[in-house]
């Protein structure tokens, strides 16, 4: 794990672009207005949406500091599955459709670029030691849902990985919890897919070290209509398109724990 030690006061962090280059574009624009010092992406550039290669120039142009997610690792190493960590056949069915499409449509150059990304990143935000990862500090594809991440585990992560703030994504639903001793864990959410609450916007996170740590979840509205047209054009599953149009998850639902599943429509 690299220790960069670079210090910031205010940063933006997002995860799960899922080929949604329009949401990425809107997020980059939105962060510019808010005056952050650096942008970080916690991985999974591909999946779900159309035209994967449109994401990479935006990341480069926006000077986004990225780490690798499970999708990125799979694409870079030529695996035949996305390593999303699903266990249910219905979840795996849709994950396979999405991965096959993304694998086919991602250029060799971009796969190589994904392969050289680090799996973790450490920075300082004011007095806080931040550790960024994709799923969890111990496993790239571990799901840390709010209702299945107990304090005893999160405190152990902070201790074992010598961090004050843990940042991760992978599940697709944002949350923040303060632990004893001014330590924090934040699922920064994803910008590639709405978060199963009936709203079509997506979310990213701004962290500011001021008087304590401020964690702000920022909604991003983007051109969903163009995205759905492109998804239709690319023959992506109607279930994916429905999610973009309605804000309700229709696939990869079985992995949801009961509390998170109960909040959704399906």
Residue closer to other proteins by CB (options 113, 157) is 157
Nearest to 167, CA basis, from 23, 258, 66:
66
Q: How many residues does the chain have?
A: 266
Binding of residue 80 to other proteins (CB under 8 A): no
- The distance of closest approach from Cβ of residue 175 to other proteins in the complex, given in angstroms and rounded to an integer, is 10
Selected binder of other proteins within 97, 153, 179, 200 (CB under 8 A) = 153
- Binding map of other proteins across residues 85-104, x = CB under 8 A, - = no contact: --xxxx--------------
182 near other proteins, rule: CB under 8 A: no
Quick one: tokens of 123?
A: 């920075």
CB 73 within 8 A of CB 230: no
The residue range among 16-24, 142-150, 191-199, 227-235 that interacts with other proteins, by the rule CB under 8 A, is 142-150
| Three-state DSSP state, 206 | strand
Q: Does 151 engage in binding with other proteins (CB under 8 A)?
A: yes
Our CB check for other proteins shows the closer of 155 and 242 to be 155
How far is Cα 92 from Cα 49, in angstroms, rounded to an integer? Answer: 17
Smallest gap, in angstroms, from Cβ of residue 48 to other proteins? Answer: 21
Report in angstroms how near the CB of residue 126 gets to other proteins at its nearest.
27
Q: Decide if residue 259 touches other proteins (CB under 8 A).
A: yes
Task: Give the C-alpha separation, 26 to 222, whole Å.
Answer: 6
CA distance 230 to 94: 18
Among 2-10, 116-124, 144-152, 182-190, which window interacts with other proteins (CB under 8 A)? 144-152
Which of 147, 199, 201, 245 contacts other proteins by CB under 8 A? 147
Rg (CA), the chain: 17
Among residues 171, 214, 207, 164, the alpha carbon closest in space to that of 189 is found at 171
Query: Measured between alpha carbons, how far is 249 from 18 in angstroms, rounded to an integer?
Result: 14
User: Residues interacting with other proteins, by CB under 8 A?
Assistant: 87-90, 138-139, 145-153, 155-157, 253-254, 257-262, 266
């Amino acid at each position: 794990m690299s220790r960069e030690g670079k210090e910031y006061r205010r940063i933006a962090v997002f995860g799960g672009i899922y080929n949604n280059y329009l949401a990425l574009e809107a997020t980059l624009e939105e962060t510019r207005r808010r005056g952050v010092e650096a942008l970080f992406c916690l991985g999974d550039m591909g999946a779900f949406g159309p035209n994967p290669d449109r994401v990479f120039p935006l990341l480069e142009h926006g000077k986004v500091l990225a780490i690798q997610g499970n999708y990125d690792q799979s694409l870079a190493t030529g695996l035949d599955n996305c390593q999303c960590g699903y266990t249910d056949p219905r979840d795996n069915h849709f994950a396979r459709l999405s991965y096959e499409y993304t694998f086919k449509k991602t250029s060799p150059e971009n796969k190589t670029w994904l392969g050289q990304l680090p799996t973790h990143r450490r920075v300082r935000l004011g007095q806080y030691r931040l550790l960024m990862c994709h799923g969890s500090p111990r496993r790239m594809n571990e799901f840390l849902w709010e209702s299945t991440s107990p304090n005893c585990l999160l405190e152990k992560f902070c201790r074992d990985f010598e961090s004050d703030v843990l940042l991760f994504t992978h599940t697709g639903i944002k949350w923040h919890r303060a632990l004893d001793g001014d330590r924090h864990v934040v699922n920064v959410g994803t910008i590639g897919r709405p978060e199963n609450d009936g709203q079509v916007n997506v979310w990213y996170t701004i962290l500011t070290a001021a008087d304590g740590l401020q964690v702000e979840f920022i909604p991003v509205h983007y051109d969903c209509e163009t995205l759905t047209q492109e998804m239709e054009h690319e023959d992506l599953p109607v279930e994916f398109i429905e999610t973009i149009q309605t804000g309700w998850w229709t696939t990869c639902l079985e992995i949801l724990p009961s509390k998170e599943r109960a909040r959704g429509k399906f």
